[in-house]
Amino acid sequence: MAIDKKKVRTQDDLNEQAPIDQVEPRVEAKMKKIEGSAKKNVAESLRNHKLAREGQRLENEAERELKKAK
């Protein structure tokens, strides 16, 4: 049984991302959320309000990116 190369469609032909490229933004956003949470927890222990705000900002940004990636 031969494959008709004219009927074969690639991801490039369909403008689809490879599965690994679809996952990467979600992984980066989850990592950013974890980093933000860690910064916030450290800041609370050190009573560093500036670092706590930075941690919260990272968490919020990561949440937006996760929603966008889905």
Task: Output the pTM of the full model.
Answer: 0.65
Q: What are the structural domain ranges in the chain?
A: 19-69
9-46 confidence digits (pLDDT tens): 888 888 888 888 888 889 999 999 999 999 999 998 89
Q: d(Cα 4, Cα 68) in Å, to the nearest integer?
A: 38
pLDDT band at 7 (very low <50, low <70, confident <90, very high): confident
Which single residue is written with the structure tokens 């966008």?
Answer: 68
The length of the chain, given as a count of residues:
70
